[in-house]
């Protein structure tokens, strides 16, 4: 996966976030480029309806044999709830824009990094942050 691909998919996650005028959008992509996307719907669906949780609910549409081949892109670093859901979903790669520390400037956050949770998982998960970070931070303003 090169940096252009990462930026392309984070841009798609940004478009998802803008659909519901929240800072939070997420995309899951399979190796062929098939993808599903979602945004944060907490105002309608309750406090657990983060973008990553919502997109994981759509994951079965991708029909992959091994979810470790999937990459989840998120405008903001997955919170501990979402990162745990990503582990339970078996997703192999996570790429995000703004960090939990960035997001904490605009609201409450649990200060546990996605990498900390990834290290506790029973399979390897690659986590990379800071892709289109400034564009993602701008979604908060």
Does residue 52 carry a catalytic annotation?
A: yes
What are the CA-CA distances from residue 74 to residues 39, 91, 122, 123 (Å)? 9, 13, 22, 20
Q: Cα(51)–Cα(15) distance, rounded to whole angstroms?
A: 12
The verdict on 79 binding Zn ion (CB under 5 A) reads yes
Site for Zn ion in 46-65 (CB under 5 A): 50
Token code pair at residue 101: 């520390």
**Shortest distance in whole angstroms from residue 8 CB to Zn ion:** 23
**Shortest distance in whole angstroms from residue 82 CB to Zn ion:** 3
- Which among 7, 21, 32, 52 is annotated as catalytic? 52
The verdict on 35 binding Zn ion (CB under 5 A) reads no
Residues that bind Zn ion (CB under 5 A): 50, 79, 82
């Amino acid at each position: 996966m090169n940096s252009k691909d990462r930026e392309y998919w984070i841009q798609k996650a940004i478009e998802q976030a803008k659909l519901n005028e929240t800072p939070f959008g997420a995309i899951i992509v399979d190796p062929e480029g098939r993808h599903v996307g979602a945004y944060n719907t907490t105002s309608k669906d309750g406090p657990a309806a983060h973008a990553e949780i919502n997109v994981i609910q759509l994951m079965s549409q991708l029909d992959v044999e091994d979810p470790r081949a999937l990459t989840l892109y998120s405008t903001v670093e997955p919170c501990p709830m979402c990162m745990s859901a990503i582990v339970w979903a078996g997703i192999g790669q996570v790429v995000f824009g703004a960090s939990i520390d960035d997001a904490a400037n605009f609201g409450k956050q649990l200060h546990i990094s996605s990498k900390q949770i990834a290290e506790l998982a029973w399979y390897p998960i690659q986590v990379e942050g800071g892709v289109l970070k400034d564009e993602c931070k701008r979604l908060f303003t």
